[in-house]
Amino acid sequence: MSTFSKRLAQTDLVALQLASFNEQAVKRALTATTPSLTDFQALLSPAALPFLTPMLEQARDLTRQQFGAARQLFAPLYMSNLCANECTYCGFSMSQAIKRRVLNGDELMQEALAVKALGHDQLLLVAGEHERKVGMAYFRQHIPRFKPLFSRLMLEVQPLSQDDYHQLKQLGIDTVLVYQETYQRQAYANYHLKGNKMDMLWRLDCPDRIAAAGIDKIGLGILLGLADWRLDAVLLAMHLRYLQQQFPYSQFSIALPRLRPCSGGINSAYPVNDKELVQLYCAFRLLSPELDLTLSTRESPALRDLLLPLMITSVSAGSKTQPGGYQVAPQSLQQFSIDDDRSAEQMAIRICELGLQPVWTNWHPAFGRG
């Protein structure tokens, strides 16, 4: 059976990293009807920075053609900060001396109703990776309670088996997010020191299992700041193209979060500035016009407002990144600090001011879901 890990093992990463591009290569990429991965590399190269304005114009036009003025709003609900992994960049890492919490059924419902009261109809369920206490038994018990409240349920937890994802689909999960963090093997090993997350291949092939289980939509991403961001972005693009070819009926989203301050976290040795982040999002829009591009509250209000009319199609709003953050335990420690602390209502108003349409409901339950 073909998997992306096998495809990646056959890829010459050194050649990708050493590839250089000039002005002519960038111009070719900008005029390509269907950009190749080589074109994508050119658009990510330093040679493309003088062409950022035409890139932005193309990204804006493609986004308008594919999505119109619609911009999706969602919020995360953190179910637990318990984690069995040691990841040097995460505030929930197992060695961190923080108060651990797994929300029970009543607490989950309080949080869900608080999110619903903000106006949200699309919910992202998040948890630290702890299979014994926050695994399938926990999900089977609690996820069905969310389904009547929200038009779309998304999940971001530890990688699971194909059978588990099939069960999650039956429980009401529409979207699963699994970010690779970095595709570079040595960098991955340097940051993941203990726990199941050390198994890079299990994580790498997780989107294959999600798609094979029939989950409607898959969220991919890298954590910018862990390694050479241009190389990771190219490998993410390769992964996206592979999945689009293998699973043509699946939908995909991309998120490109940057490292943020957190308890016990590291400083980035590979910082990505705002201009480079804009270039990166532009390149993904030109590569795949139908792709849902997500920007979280990690980023500043000014940057989110800039990118929403140009290429971003989905944003979190009024986010809390700790279990119980909305109602049960608002003073508990966050997984990471956020930069855009506007409420969901303020975000919706701003989207309208930008000439766009805030969309709270992804798919009305009256029309049914597969």
Do residues 266 and 181 lie in contact, with contact meaning Cβ atoms separated by under 8 Å? no
pLDDT single digits (tens) 253-308: 999 999 876 555 567 789 999 999 999 999 999 999 999 999 999 999 999 999 99
pLDDT single digits (tens) 123-147: 999 998 999 999 999 999 999 999 9
- Extended beta strands in 195-308, E state: 217-221, 251-255, 292-295
With a cut of 60, say whether residue 77 has pLDDT above it.
Answer: yes
* pTM of structure: 0.94
- Residue 27, token pair as written in the block: 């111009």
CA 187, CA 17: separation in Å to the nearest integer? 14
Q: Residue 146 is which amino acid?
A: F
If you average pLDDT over every residue of the chain, what do you get? 93
Residue 29 neighbours by CB distance under 10 Å: 26
The string of DSSP codes covering 262-314 is -TTPPPPSS---HHHHHHHHHHHHHH-TT-EEEE-TTS-HHHHHHHTTTT--E
The string of DSSP codes covering 11-50 is S-HHHHHH----HHHHHHHHH-SS--HHHHHHHHSGGGGG
CA 290, CA 173: separation in Å to the nearest integer? 22
pLDDT single digits (tens) 1-23: 689 999 999 999 999 988 999 99
CA 109, CA 142: separation in Å to the nearest integer? 9
- Residue 177, token pair as written in the block: 């997010």
In the prediction, which pLDDT does 365 show? 47
CA 127, CA 204: separation in Å to the nearest integer? 19
Going from N- to C-terminal start, the domains of the chain cover 55-367
**CATH of the domain spanning 55-367:** 3.20.20.70
